Amino acid sequence: MPPKKKAAVEQKVILGRASNTLKMGLVGLPNVGKSTTFNMLSNLSVPAENYPFCTIEPTEAKVYVPDRRFERLCEIYGPRSKVAASISIFDIAGLVSGASEGEGLGNAFLSHIQAVDGIYHVVRGFPNEDVMHNEGEIDPVRDMEIITNELFQKDLQHITKALEELERVIARKNLKADKEEKEVLLKCQEMIGNKTPVRNGSWNGKEIETLNKHLLMSSKPVVYLVNIGRDEYIKKQNKWLPKIQAWINANGGGPMLPYSADYEAEVLANAGSPDRFARDTAAEDLGAPTMVHKLVNCGYRTLQLIHYFTAGEDEVKCWTLRKGTKAPGAAGVIHTDFERGFICAEVMKFDDLDRLETEVEVKAEGLYLQKGRDYEVIDGDIIYFKFNVTAKAAKIDKNAGK
């Protein structure tokens, strides 16, 4: 009898775009601190005025993802070039009640949300009579319901239109795939009617592939950023936080990060530099830790992004990829020829190199391992690839292979 073929290793399908270059968007009502938060994260100068719709076009920033491991590798190798991981963040103008019907330039703004992969939902919890509130008074729970309902309504509009088209196609062709897509959309329609985000559904791999054709608003992961007052943040006291957390728990869940945009602006001013250590020192002097690093990392991880390192004297570099990516796909992030010509991956764990300090010592302890095509890359792996590729592709990254 011929030998049995090995069963194919199933690749988990992730809800959302299949890409390593994903984007987070800052979303919320007008005057909740989105543009100030964007400035805080990116150090770019965008308007942050005290009136609605100050931000009309979404502003993009590529924000570096702080990582102690990257900094340590730079210490060990002393490279000529350093390339950290990054995430793209968009500042999207404020939504208002009725945005799904076109209120307040809502359709344009909702299309900007459609273009991002995850949402930083900025919630106003700070008391400041000098900064007007679009709804008249501060009520974070009401504000979150407004934004969430507008996203739900936009999803329902999309689903209704898609179902109408599918009905016509099914009547004409009567294909099984179209019927299955219809069932998935009907399930989404029912969930949203019950105020349940699509991201909280129980979906199998095939259903997720269908959902990824539509990229519904409520399928996007959400991180709730609660912008509280400067003094409240230092004292760790804000009356709205328990109510906000309770609402989040009852409405799909997601990380909640309290911070103060005003405090972070003060930290940056005192630091005089966006450098991580300068900010940490300035924040310590002011009385509370900065949240910038945590906000960026939380968005990165919420998109299910990880990174591995290539490291050497020429360059230490982070390569971003989706969680669950196998070794050939990780090689393909560097160059598509590396994926096609993949032979194996030689892998060190960061903790081993951090402890032993040299590759020679890692190898001496038998911790420099060779991995094949089925190896799932772990966040923080240090990898060198072996491949059969053209001479042109081999020059893409000197640290990528040996």
pLDDT in tens, 384-399: 999 886 644 555 554 5
DSSP state of 199: G
Residues ≥6 apart with Cβ < 8 Å to 394:
387, 401
| CATH number corresponding to 304-394 | 3.10.20.30
Q: Give first-to-last CA distance, the chain, whole Å.
A: 40
Residue 287, burial from CB neighbour count under 10 angstroms (0-12, 13-18, 19+)? exposed
Measuring CA to CA, how many Å separate 207 from each of 13, 94, 276?
A: 9, 32, 42
Report pLDDT digits (tens) over 29-75: 888 888 889 888 887 444 444 444 344 455 888 888 889 999 999 99
For residue 300 the two structure tokens come to 């990165």
| Main-chain phi, psi angles of 236, to 5 degrees | 60, 45
| Strands 315-322 and 81-83, bridge-based pairing | parallel
| Main-chain phi, psi angles of 239, to 5 degrees | -70, -20
Q: Are 170 and 179 a contacting pair, CB within 8 Å?
A: yes
Confidence class of residue 97 from pLDDT cuts 50, 70 and 90? Answer: low
CATH 3.40.50.300 domain locations along the chain: 23-55+92-301
Please name which of 210, 213, 292, 221 lies closest in space to residue 22, comparing C-alpha atoms.
221
Please name which of 261, 335, 343 lies closest in space to residue 295, comparing C-alpha atoms.
261
pLDDT at 135: 56
Q: How far apart are CA 204 and CA 216, in angstroms?
A: 17
| 356 pLDDT higher than 80 | yes
Average pLDDT, the chain: 85
| CATH number corresponding to 23-55+92-301 | 3.40.50.300
| 354 pLDDT higher than 70 | yes
User: ∠ CA 122-26-301 to the nearest 5 degrees?
Assistant: 95
Question: What residue type is 105 in one-letter code?
Answer: L
141 torsion bin: left (phi>0), alpha (psi -120 to 50), beta (else): alpha
DSSP state of 226: E
Residue 49 burial (CB count, 10 A) = 10
Mean pLDDT of 230-245: 94
CATH 3.10.20.30 domain locations along the chain: 304-394
Mean pLDDT of 162-182: 93
Element (H, E) at 387: strand 382-387
For residue 361 the two structure tokens come to 């010592």
Measuring CA to CA, how many Å separate 120 from each of 63, 134, 155, 298?
A: 14, 19, 18, 10
Confidence class of residue 95 from pLDDT cuts 50, 70 and 90? Answer: low
Q: Are 74 and 82 a contacting pair, CB within 8 Å?
A: yes
Report pLDDT digits (tens) over 263-281: 999 998 898 877 788 889 9
| 123 pLDDT higher than 50 | yes
Tokens 């004292």 sit at which residue? Answer: 235
Q: How far apart are CA 288 and CA 154, in angstroms?
A: 39
Counted residue by residue, the chain has a size of 402
State the pTM of this model.
0.86
Residue 46, burial from CB neighbour count under 10 angstroms (0-12, 13-18, 19+)? middle
DSSP assignment of 78-136 equals --SEEE--EEEEEE-PPP-TTGGGTGGGHHHHHHHHHTSSEEEEEEE----TTS--TTS
Q: How far apart are CA 57 and CA 62, in angstroms?
A: 16
Residues ≥6 apart with Cβ < 8 Å to 1:
none
